Structure 1
Amino acid sequence: MRRVSSPQLLAGLLAGAGAAHFLMPEPFDSIVPRALPGSPRTWTRVSGAAELALAAGIALPRTRARAACAAAAFFVAVVPANAQMAADWRDRPAPLRRAAQARVPLQIPLVLWARKVARDAAA
Structure 2
Amino acid sequence: KQLKQLLAWSFTKYDSMQACSLADELKYLGFKYASQAGISISIEDLKVPFIKDLMLQKANQEILNAEKICLKGKITDVERFQKIIDTWNLTSESLKDEVVSYFKTYDPLNS
- Return the TM-score normalized by structure 2: 0.38
Q: Between the two structures, name the one with larger relative contact order (CA 8 Å, sep ≥ 6).
A: 1
- Return the TM-score normalized by structure 1: 0.35
